[in-house]
Amino acid sequence: MSKTTWTIDPTHSEVQFKVKHLVISTVTGHFSIYDGKVTTEESDWTTAQILFSVNIDSINTGQEQRDAHLKSADFFDAANYPQMTFESTSIEKVSDDTYKLHGTLSIRDVSKPVTLNVEYGGQTTDFYGNQKAGFEINGKINRKEFGLTWNGVTEAGSIVVSDEVKLIANIQLVKQVEQEA
């Protein structure tokens, strides 16, 4: 059976997160440096083996002081744990264009199983003859389960940062040269 390798097109992809601040508003951030590879049998997405990594130092919430705090030992501890990784364990097809992606997410020194929702956007060929595939991926994690336990409480008793973090990724893959297995 033929193996197909796909790589992330970072120019046409984005990796974001959203977290409630003071329980009343949402802070959105993104990572600007990430890498990923997907290997499938033929073009069957249910056979996909996914390896994905994020450079923690590339975090950006639009506020330098907050970004520095997120990189510190209070949160990601980027100096000691420079990468966040995801490795798939299985993919189940829910409908023609939706999937459940199961895998292991590793943040700091903690690895836990997660399930993400995937919407397949389809495939097309770009102006340069490259085969592309698009996906929207989202899910939720509890940051404290991954060792991101810092928090504060305001004088009024409001929690500063929610435990729940929403993950959102819009990923465009580029098909690489096929290899016979």
Q: How many CA atoms lie within 13 A of 181 on its CB side?
A: 9
Strand residue runs (E) in the chain: 2-8, 14-21, 25-31, 34-41, 44-55, 59-60, 83-95, 98-107, 110-125, 131-142, 161-175, 179-180
User: Which domains, and CATH codes, for the chain?
Assistant: 2-176 (2.40.128.110)
pLDDT at 42: 77
Contact 85, 52 (CB under 8 A): yes
**CA–CA dist 36, 87 (Å, integer):** 10
pLDDT of 87 reads: 98
| pLDDT of amino acid 106 | 97
pLDDT < 50 stretches in the chain: 153-154, 156-159
Distance of CA 77 to the CA centre of its chain: 18
Query: What pLDDT, on the 0 to 100 scale, is given for residue 104?
Result: 98
